[in-house]
Chains A and B, each alone.
Chain A
Amino acid sequence: MTRYARWIAGLAGLALAAALPAGNGAKAVEVQHVITPLGLEAWLIQNDRIPVISIEFAFPGGLTTDPEGKEGLTNLVSYLLDEGAGNIESRDFQNLLNDRAIDLYFTPGVDHFYGTMRTTALHAEEAFDLLRLALTAPRFDAEAVERMRAAVLADIRRTVADPSWMARRAFYEVAYPGHPFGRPSRGTAATLGGLTTDDLHDFVARRFTRDGLVIGVAGDIDADTLAIALDTVFGALPETSDFEPIAPPGPPPVGESILVQRDGPQSSMLVVQNGVDREDPDYYAALVMNQILGASALRSRLGRELRERRGLTYGITSWLRETELVDLLMVAGQLSNENVPEALTQTRAVWLEMAQGGVTEDEVSDSVAYLTGSFPLLFTSSEGIAGMLVWAQLEGMGIDFIEDRTARLEAVTADQVSRLAAELLDGDGLTAVVVGNPPDAFQADTVLSAEEMAERELDAGL
């Protein structure tokens, strides 16, 4: 192992701090803005009570940037960065991580490529050095590439058997044909088989760069030490990235019904309509609206109507799906086949009622209280904090994001949510995807077969 000669030497980075109240304001969570000697920036919440350090970072560009025919490239890279780097082969690299209990993993998102590392303070030096190697000199040895190709294929095999995955897959495929949003993000057996070592090296060279890099750190490390570590890890990366931004797709379909035939006791239901952009002035009102609508099965209109009153389903949840190019409002639930028509009728009724009748002051104040009050609960582990710091930066928020978010939520009124609901919610315009064997009362415009969809993903094209 190489060690940092300069680890303790104080090449002090510049640290600006903002003290922010959390929760009831009894205590301050201090977010520090760290600027390294090389000019990298990171947000840090220091906590020396537990000897653990977590770092999360994001590079721009995610799953949708895979070129046509090379679907699955981003995902495969995320499997391989800890499988050997520099002159350390896969087994030795894994041994170094495991023996020091260093967690290192990479996660491709739709818009970003994320990395996360958690280490005990005891092994921080080695951990940062292994991270540097993983990002700058991954080996992509043939043995590891083949092993991870097989692992991804096994993942695809497992998920094509999952009806809720199949529902999302069917929606994106029908909604965005030909667009990256409509293509399989982990690839198919065929595209996965075609990826080469050159593709992998090329990805790393063009995509792991310093522009657009966002970093969040939490735990037992001070700003000066972190600044040096960050320069060591990320300092050698190229300045600018090189990848084609993708064009936005058209709007999602309105009022479509899609059936994916599959045998089993239950159907998986996915209901979708257009959502609200992060930059939209109504964005925070949309967050509140979603709370009232269905964010929690125990405390929402959908939960009350479908679960509490009618016992149609165990879990029903709605969420705002925000990405850079596509914003959706989605609802998912799993229920017995015979209950599908009633569940869809009730979902449309909930939509109609809110669009026409609006929301109450109590519903808004309860939801705002939940969204603001539960926010500090996300700050109770170093991994959670590091993730929040990256999230806030990607959302374009300032270092005062905790207060800012609270203020924006508290400014939302019942009138605003009711107006938004009237404009946005379109019960008849909902697109419904059902994966299962529902009764004929569910009439589909498009009928697919789960078996054929699975075969398509798994056909190696030989």
Chain B
Amino acid sequence: MPLCTRASVFSTAAAALIGLQTLASPAHSGVFEPEMFELDNGMQVVVVTNRSAPVVTHMVWYRVGAADETPGVSGIAHFLEHLMFRGTDSLDDGEFSRIVGRNGGQDNAFTSWDMTAYFQNVAVDRLPLVMEMEADRMVNLALDADIVDTERSVIIEERRERIDDNPSSRLSEQMLAALYQNHPYGRPIIGWEHEMAELSLEDAAEFYETWYAPNNAILIVSGDIDAAELRPLAERIYGPIPSRPVPERARPQEPEVAIARRIVLTDPNVQQPSWRRFYLAPSYARGATEHAYALQVLNEIFGAGTTSRLYEALVLDQGIAVGAGSAYSPVYFDETEIGIFVAPNGDVDPEVIEAAVDAEIALLLSEGVEEWEVESAKERLVLAAIYARDSLGGPARTLGRALTAGVGIDVVEEWPERIGAVTADDIMAAAHAVLRPGRSVTGLLLPGDPEAETGQESAQ
């Protein structure tokens, strides 16, 4: 079922998501070596061949997401994604997924701040069928008032399940809202409930007509196919859809706030406390972009896995935490964040955790990183990247995210070389630029009675 991806922001694995490499295949120079072409109507096409099984992943990505919504209509990008499954002029409500299913395929969709994507995994001989249906709903979506009402209840239930009934998600939602004071990354992808309750058929229709056009879409197919085989299908099926003007994606940027913020969430359902901190950080496309690759290596040294500095200090040496790590993905259209996450051990006071994290950051900023740490982090990143090809959908998702984040596929294909070029000096320049308290939000998740403590944002 349709879902919003937030994992891209929070999971440590995402830090390496964009990096993929073919070390042991010297014949390959790039990572996935995709073939690319463009249809006359401006629709971009990307093909990644993988002949392991006679199946394909077929995806259509739109360069629009929750951060492109008009203020006051939060959640409409994701709501439209749900409605895309509920009928076109020629397909009945729910028929899309039923047809995919009876053809042995799986389908779904996901929405993030920068993109909305629809996909089907099918046997390669069923590819034309799903292409026809995806092209159909790019232009012929049928919106029905009763269905809009029912589906609105579904997304509100989805919000409650994902966020309202999950204290950890509520804390992260509030931390992002505090971190981004002007940029729409501070709004939840799924929307604020009071605005979701007002989302109308007209809102969905307007968003659809504004953004869903072939020249704002990317077709990505990976699996048992190449460009020569795909091109005639793409030209026949997607080619006739007329292009039309699509707005520029211009989002308001963040001011220099220079105030550390703090969010405390207490909830009786919390048993395991959590400490976390987000710093604003550049993406590949926006902000101090020159630091993006260095920050990926820094993240690997500082917070990736059980051999990172944070895990060693807090979990192994001091025994004050049961888990500690950081996460950073620069694949965003605008400035993004790097996050630090710690699970305290037993009843260890979160203040003790915070002091220990701050001490590690201070040590990093004063003493720098060792040459061997840099080399081994780069090696790990590049090695782990080999696994990215060991998947049907992974390459398509990686390329789709890059292209909808406003960068070229060079950030994927040349990633190993660019990571390889990062030096200790680059890392320290990035660390000093990003790890600044005035650009951060610290969050605490605590057990207890919410009335007893302020859950409010406060300046530190």
Contact = CB atoms under 8 A, between A and B. Distances in A.
Interface in B87-106: 93-94, 97-98, 101-106
A186 to B, nearest CB: 14
A94 interface: yes
Interface stretch (B360-368, B389-397, B406-414, B426-434): B389-397
A26 interface: yes
B54 A377 contact: no
Interface residues of A, number: 77
Most buried by B among A22, A91, A157: A157
A377 B165 contact: no
Contacts of A262: 269
B268 interface: yes
B50 interface: yes
A151 B98 contact: no
Interface string A73-96: 000000000000000000100110
B101 A311 contact: no
B52 interface: yes
Interface string A445-462: 000001100100010000
Interface in A350-383: 365-366, 369-370, 372-377, 379-383
A154 B275 CA distance: 14
A94 B312 CA distance: 11
Interface stretch (A1-9, A49-57, A227-235, A420-428): A49-57
Interface string B155-197: 1011011001101000000000000000000000000000000
Contact of B102 (A52, A366, A381): A366
Contact of A160 (B157, B271, B312): B271
B40 to A, nearest CB: 31
A169 interface: no
A401 to B, nearest CB: 16
Nearest to A166: B269
Nearest to B152: A311
A299 B98 contact: yes
A370 B123 CA distance: 11
Contacts of B1: 297-298, 314-315
Contact of A377 (B51, B121, B270): B121
B143 to A, nearest CB: 15
Contacts of A304: 94
A118 B102 CA distance: 33
Given A99-B380, A120-B24, A122-B23, A263 B268 contact: yes
A298 B94 CA distance: 7
Nearest to A335: B157
A24 B305 CA distance: 41
A380 to B, nearest CB: 4
Interface residues of B, number: 75
Given A23-B53, A298-B85, A376-B55, A161 B380 contact: no
Contact of B53 (A27, A51, A158): A27
B106 A374 contact: yes
B123 A118 contact: no
B53 A380 contact: yes
Interface string A379-399: 111110000000000000000
B323 A154 contact: yes
A178 interface: no
B136 interface: no
Contacts of A365: 102
Contacts of B157: 266, 311-314, 334-336
B390 A315 contact: no
A100 B381 CA distance: 10
A375 B122 CA distance: 10
Given A265-B165, A380-B55, A147 B390 contact: no
B53 A29 contact: yes
A76 to B, nearest CB: 14
Nearest to B311: A94
B376 interface: yes
A98 interface: yes
A292 to B, nearest CB: 11
Contact of B105 (A47, A52, A308, A374): A374
A241 interface: no
Given A120-B24, A263-B268, A265-B164, A369 B102 contact: yes
11 contacts: A23-B54, A91-B312, A147-B315, A151-B323, A298-B98, A298-B107, A309-B150, A314-B157, A370-B102, A377-B392, A458-B271
Q: List 4 tightest A-B contacts by C-beta distance, closest first.
A: A373-B104, A311-B153, A157-B272, A314-B158
Given A298-B101, A374-B106, 14 more contacts: A99-B376, A122-B23, A157-B272, A263-B268, A265-B165, A298-B107, A304-B94, A309-B150, A314-B154, A336-B160, A369-B103, A372-B104, A379-B52, A451-B268
